[in-house]
Amino acid sequence: MIITIASGKGGTGKTTVATNLAVSISSSIDNTPVWVLDCDVEEPNCHLFLKPEIYTSEAVGVPVPKVDKEKCTACGKCGQFCEYSAIVALKTVPITFPELCHGCGGCSLICPEGAISETKRRVGMLEKGQSGDIGFVHGRLRVGEAMSPPLIRAVKKFVFKKGLTLIDAPPGTSCPVIEAIKGSDFVILVTEPTPFGLNDLTLAVDMVKQLNIPFGVLINRADIGDNRVSEYCQAEGIPILLQIPDNRKIAEAYSRGMMIVDVVPGLRETFMDLYFRIKKMCGQQHNEEA
Amino acid sequence: MKVVLTSSGESLDSPLDPRFGRAQKFILFDTDNNEHQVVDNSQNLNAAQGAGIQAAQNVSRLNAEYVITGHCGPKAFRTLQAAGIKVIVGVEGTVAEVIEKFKAGKLTPTEASDVEGHWI
């Protein structure tokens, strides 16, 4: 089973939910292997809380075109084909803009002279490790790099179908978020009960509905702000999965890189219960193998 | 000699558009016979990315020797340079005024782009 933790607005508590849910389940259910995939590759932070021991690290690249000037006849077909202006054909040998290339490989297929081959452009690092019983994978996007989906795809290759995979998605509703979410069995949308939280939640809800994935809302710091998030969820028939109160102890634990389930009594059981309810909503019984 | 000017409208009295890739219109002006032609740029105006590069490709098809605009970023500049087109930046005024300045030899081409590229 794959559960993705996403949000419209950043800073609402995605990582807190992902890591504490992982720890709660892995420490309490013996037959469910848990993997955490941190797909927020622009600023991954699950490792700050899970403190995994990293045992492999590899570079991830995207294919970009390389033009053989000897073979090129400057016919211009590659430039006409490219939607992203990553290869431009003027009256001469084409020039390339690797930072714009989405790596589709179309230019090399369309070149009648076979003059275009592919070379790799590094977009980031993939690291794999272990935190207690929790398997851990994350991507670290190269500083200055704008194209994160290829790295997110590389992280998602480690989705573990037999156990539980928790994906920490980037905030927002753009391509990287969709890349992180797609293929999930359930999405937890984390929000805060503020006008900003509500605005971005509605955008995230529209996105998840388009992807046709079951979802529910988790309201973090539930006693700040106003009631409009709850009212919105009720009006739209969206289940409110859990409300986490605005608790100073939680903020202190978070700021020290600690698990909030270790400082708030009963919270571990609350997260376990959340997991069982999500399984039920996905049509699975909690006594079955996931 | 043909020059391309970025224009915010279709007449020579229109103010020069300071943007290159996302200019409203291009005006192709021929200094040999003082004739001009308006070229649409709406496709690039709404492009998700690579507007400057596409605009540079379009300009190269017009066989212009110069581009006169407000600002030109690194990717558009590199493409124009590859096409052998000289770029004049930092120009303001109406298209007609700029053409007069150009004819009088008061405008000199830039050696490099004058603004940062966009994030992608």
Task: Tell me the shortest Cα–Cα distance from B78 to chain A, in angstroms.
Answer: 9
CATH number of the domain where residue A98 is located = 3.30.70.20
Please check the confidence at residue A71 and state whether its pLDDT lies above 80.
yes
Residue at A48 is within a domain: yes
pLDDT tens digit string along A100-136?
888 889 999 999 999 999 999 999 999 999 999 999 9
Contact B49 A85 (CB under 8 A): yes
Strands (E), chain B: 2-7, 25-30, 35-40, 66-68, 86-88
Topology adopted by domain B2-103:
Nucleotidyltransferase; domain 5 (3.30.420)
pLDDT of residue B43: 77
Q: Which chain B residues are Cβ-neighbours of A147 within 8 angstroms?
A: 120
Q: Do A97 and A166 share a structural domain?
A: no
Contact B79 A95 (CB under 8 A): yes
Mean pLDDT over each residue of chain A, to the nearest integer: 93
Please check the confidence at residue A27 and state whether its pLDDT lies above 90.
no
Please check the confidence at residue A288 and state whether its pLDDT lies above 90.
no
Residue at A258 is within a domain: yes
What are the structural domain ranges in chain B?
A: 2-103
Answer with the residue of higher pLDDT: B115 or B9: B9
pLDDT tens digit string along A154-173?
999 999 878 899 999 999 99
Mean pLDDT over each residue of chain B, to the nearest integer: 90
Please check the confidence at residue A267 and state whether its pLDDT lies above 60.
yes
pLDDT of residue A284: 62
Q: Do A91 and A186 share a structural domain?
A: no
Q: How many residues does chain A have?
A: 290
Contact A95 B119 (CB under 8 A): no
Mean pLDDT computed over B38-61: 85
Contact B50 A86 (CB under 8 A): yes
The 10 Å Cβ neighbour count of residue A143 is: 7
In whole angstroms, what is the distance from residue B2 CA to residue A115 CA? Answer: 33
Mean pLDDT computed over A218-230: 96
* Structural domain count of chain A: 2
| Phi, psi for residue B52 in degrees, rounded to 5 | -65, -40
Q: Do A172 and A37 share a structural domain?
A: yes
Closest to A130 (Cα-Cα) out of A35, A57, A28, A26: A35
pLDDT of residue B51: 87
Q: Do A167 and A29 share a structural domain?
A: yes
Residue at A183 is within a domain: yes
In this complex, is the C-beta atom of B119 within 8 Å of any C-beta atom belonging to chain A?
yes
Mean pLDDT computed over B1-6: 95
Q: Do A217 and A135 share a structural domain?
A: yes
Q: Which chain A residues are Cβ-neighbours of B78 within 8 angstroms?
A: 95
> Most B CBs within 10 Å: which of A85, A91, A92, as the mutation test of the B interface?
A85
Q: Do A203 and A169 share a structural domain?
A: yes
ipTM of the complex: 0.78
Residue at A226 is within a domain: yes
pLDDT of residue B116: 80
Q: Do A274 and A239 share a structural domain?
A: yes
Residue at A184 is within a domain: yes
CATH number of the domain where residue A51 is located = 3.40.50.300
pLDDT tens digit string along A178-209?
999 999 999 999 999 999 999 999 999 999 99
> Which member of A84, A85, A90 has the closest CB to residue B83?
A90
Residue at A286 is within a domain: no
Q: Which two tokens stand for residue B106?
A: 């008061």
> Which member of B75, B82, B119 has the closest CB to residue A146?
B119
For residue A199, the cross-strand partners are none
Q: Do A75 and A55 share a structural domain?
A: no
Q: Do A56 and A103 share a structural domain?
A: no
In whole angstroms, what is the distance from residue B64 CA to residue B84 CA? Answer: 9
Answer with the residue of higher pLDDT: A288 or A27: A27
Question: Sheet containing B25-30: which strands, arranged edge to edge?
Answer: B35-40, B25-30, B2-7, B66-68, B86-88
Question: Sheet containing A134-141: which strands, arranged edge to edge?
Answer: A53-67, A116-131, A134-141, A34-38, A164-168, A2-6, A186-191, A215-220, A240-244
Q: Do A223 and A178 share a structural domain?
A: yes
pLDDT level of residue A97 (50, 70, 90 thresholds)? very high
pLDDT of residue A281: 93
Residue at A122 is within a domain: no
pLDDT of residue A290: 41
Look up the domain containing A108 and give its range.
Answer: 69-114
Given the structure tokens 């848990």, which residue do they identify?
A34
Task: Tell me the shortest Cα–Cα distance from B21 to chain A, in angstroms.
Answer: 12
Q: Do A201 and A94 share a structural domain?
A: no
pLDDT of residue A285: 46
Q: Do A201 and A100 share a structural domain?
A: no
Mean pLDDT computed over A51-60: 97
**Of the listed ranges B31-35, B42-46, B71-75, the one predicted with least confidence:** B42-46
In whole angstroms, what is the distance from residue A12 CA to residue A221 CA? Answer: 8
Please check the confidence at residue B22 and state whether its pLDDT lies above 50.
yes
Q: B95 and B72 in contact (C-beta within 8 Å)?
A: no
**Of the listed ranges A10-14, A19-23, A92-96, A261-265, the one predicted with least confidence:** A92-96
Residue at A290 is within a domain: no
